[in-house]
């Protein structure tokens, strides 16, 4: 029997078996070898360093009459930092669990680090599950030593790594404390440490910023950036669109189990043309608004949320450069720029307006309204 450590004694029933809080996964004969076309078979071997760290082809997962993930294709390039986005219930966690071999797809193929199952590469993978949990009665040091042993680490080197990482996550004095003595945020950082302390090549984080205060969220972002610079492949799901926009080299978005967006930040921005100018006139008054509103190609003029700044929305297909020249000719301005779309703009544009309003709020609740300068 093979096992993947979840660092949790509360898996919410997502794993196929449990023993003392440690998640275990049995190899089911129906999955190896697989009789259904497109699933199972020999493990694909990587041909080069350019091969995807994670590859999903036509992956589908059903739970009775509900299709949670529907014919999903995904390629995460090695060395990339990929944000996995979508509203509540979109299928993000189910997809991550299939990547981790906690669930198996009903159809399609999953490859992780060149292997058909994450179990075959488990010591090269760090995983922070959606379910938060630690062994509450264990001391922090014992908890981390135990998980380190499961990853093949031993002796003084493991102890030094634990001390090093506790220092890095700003918890240098908790090693002898019981896990239950720590705050929820501290426990989450300890669980994050457990996912990365064995120096994995692939790091998968399910909602790593959930429940963290701004200081610790910034600390987490810094560590993620540092590991990415060191060449790690990182994929994380999040509701915090601003964090994804700051961190990621690539964005993958799903809705209702289907892919709706996949590409680099620059590629995504190139796909969506907001046709919106941000204008700061020397004097903001009714005359400025009326003069701007009378210009060709201008659909509407309103305040941009900043003092003395107007938002000029253009007609679809109208040339922004022509509009900017018209604005400068119409009135004196301190600043004029073409507003670039944020991930929030893209999300609102893509997600079906009929989707649950609560889901949309949940997706955007931690997102601060942030203007992105045209030269960013």
Q: Has residue 26 got a pLDDT over 80?
A: no
pLDDT at 370: 30
- Distance from C-alpha of 170 to C-alpha of 81, rounded to nearest angstrom: 24
CATH numbers and ranges of domains, the chain: 2-268 (3.40.50.300), 275-338 (3.30.70.920)
Count other Cβ atoms within 10 Å, centred on residue 252: 23
Most confident of 24-33, 104-113, 314-323: 104-113
Q: With contact defined as beta carbons under 8 Å apart, do 19 and 150 qualify?
A: no
Q: What is the average pLDDT across 361-369? A: 41
Query: How distant is the alpha carbon of residue 205 from its chain centre?
Result: 8
pLDDT at 3: 35
- Distance from C-alpha of 144 to C-alpha of 160, rounded to nearest angstrom: 12
- Distance from C-alpha of 20 to C-alpha of 154, rounded to nearest angstrom: 22
Residues whose CB is less than 8 angstroms from the CB of residue 257 and which lie 6 or more positions away in sequence, other chains included: 67, 68, 69, 70, 72, 90, 91, 94
> How many Å is the maximal CA-CA distance in the chain?
75
The pTM score is 0.71
- Distance from C-alpha of 304 to C-alpha of 342, rounded to nearest angstrom: 15
- Distance from C-alpha of 86 to C-alpha of 199, rounded to nearest angstrom: 28
Task: Count the helix, strand and coil residues of the chain and give each as a percent rounded to the nearest 5.
Answer: 30, 25, 40
pLDDT at 356: 44
pLDDT for 45-91, tens place per residue? 444 556 899 999 999 999 999 999 999 999 999 999 999 998 888 99
Q: What is the average pLDDT across 189-213? A: 94
- Distance from C-alpha of 162 to C-alpha of 157, rounded to nearest angstrom: 9
**Strand (E) or helix (H) holding 4:** none
Q: With contact defined as beta carbons under 8 Å apart, do 235 and 82 qualify?
A: yes
Taking alpha carbons only, the member of 110, 109, 115, 132 closest to residue 194 is 132
Q: Has residue 28 got a pLDDT over 70?
A: no
Most confident of 203-212, 235-244, 362-371: 203-212
Name the 3-class secondary structure at 251.
Answer: strand
pLDDT at 352: 57
Please give the DSSP secondary-structure letter assigned to residue 115. B
pLDDT at 51: 84
Name the 3-class secondary structure at 11.
Answer: coil
Residue that is written with structure tokens 């991930």 in the block: 343
Q: With contact defined as beta carbons under 8 Å apart, do 174 and 140 qualify?
A: yes
More confident residue, 5 or 138: 138
pLDDT at 49: 56
pLDDT at 274: 67
Name the 3-class secondary structure at 249.
Answer: coil
Most confident of 4-18, 74-88, 315-329: 74-88
pLDDT at 232: 97
- Distance from C-alpha of 112 to C-alpha of 39, rounded to nearest angstrom: 14
Copy the structure tokens of residue 49.
Answer: 């360093």
Taking alpha carbons only, the member of 210, 200, 227, 245 closest to residue 88 is 210
pLDDT for 256-284, tens place per residue? 999 999 998 878 876 776 678 999 998 87
Q: How far is CA 192 from CA 35, 196, 223, 372, in A?
A: 37, 7, 10, 30
* pLDDT over 90 percentage in the chain: 56
| Phi, psi for 260 (deg, rounded to 5) | -120, -10
**Strand (E) or helix (H) holding 311:** strand 310-314
Q: With contact defined as beta carbons under 8 Å apart, do 339 and 275 qualify?
A: no
Q: Has residue 211 got a pLDDT over 80?
A: yes
pLDDT for 219-257, tens place per residue? 999 999 999 999 999 999 987 788 888 899 999 999 999
- The chain-wide mean pLDDT, for the chain, equals 81
Most confident of 14-18, 172-176, 339-343: 172-176
Please give the DSSP secondary-structure letter assigned to residue 139. B
């Amino acid at each position: 029997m093979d096992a993947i450590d979840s660092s949790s004694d509360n898996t919410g029933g997502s794993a196929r078996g449990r023993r003392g809080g440690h998640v275990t996964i049995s190899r089911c004969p129906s999955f190896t070898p697989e009789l259904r076309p497109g699933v199972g078979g020999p493990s694909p071997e990587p041909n080069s360093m350019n091969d995807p760290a994670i590859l999903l082809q036509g992956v589908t997962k059903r739970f009775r009459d509900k299709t949670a993930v529907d014919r999903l294709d995904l390629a995460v390039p090695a060395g990339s930092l990929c944000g996995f986005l979508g509203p509540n219930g979109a299928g993000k966690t189910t997809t991550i669990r299939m990547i981790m071999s906690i669930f198996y797809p009903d159809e399609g193929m999953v490859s992780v680090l060149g292997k058909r199952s994450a179990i075959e590469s488990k010591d090269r993978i760090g995983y922070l599950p959606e379910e938060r949990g630690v062994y509450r009665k264990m001391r922090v040091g014992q908890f981390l030593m135990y998980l380190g042993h499961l990853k093949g680490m031993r002796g003084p080197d493991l102890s030094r790594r634990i001390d090093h990482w506790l220092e890095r996550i700003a918890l240098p004095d908790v090693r002898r404390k019981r896990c239950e003595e720590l705050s929820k945020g501290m426990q989450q950082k300890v669980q994050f440490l457990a996912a990365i302390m064995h120096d994995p090549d692939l790091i998968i984080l399910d909602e790593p910023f959930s429940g963290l205060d701004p200081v610790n969220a910034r600390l987490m972002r810094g560590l993620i950036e540092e590991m990415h610079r060191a060449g790690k492949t990182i994929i994380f799901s999040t509701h915090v669109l601003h964090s994804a926009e700051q961190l990621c080299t690539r964005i993958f978005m799903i809705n209702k189990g289907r892919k709706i967006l996949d590409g680099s930040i620059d590629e995504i921005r190139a796909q969506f043309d907001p046709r919106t100018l941000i204008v700061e006139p020397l004097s903001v008054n009714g005359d400025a608004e009326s003069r701007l509103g009378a210009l060709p190609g201008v659909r509407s003029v309103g305040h941009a949320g900043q003092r003395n700044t107007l938002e000029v929305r253009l007609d679809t297909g109208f040339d922004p450069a022509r509009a900017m020249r018209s604005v400068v000719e119409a009135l004196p301005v301190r600043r004029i720029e073409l507003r670039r779309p944020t991930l929030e703009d893209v999300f609102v544009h893509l997600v079906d307006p009929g989707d649950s309003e609560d889901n949309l709020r949940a997706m955007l609740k931690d997102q601060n309204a942030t203007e992105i300068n045209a030269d960013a």
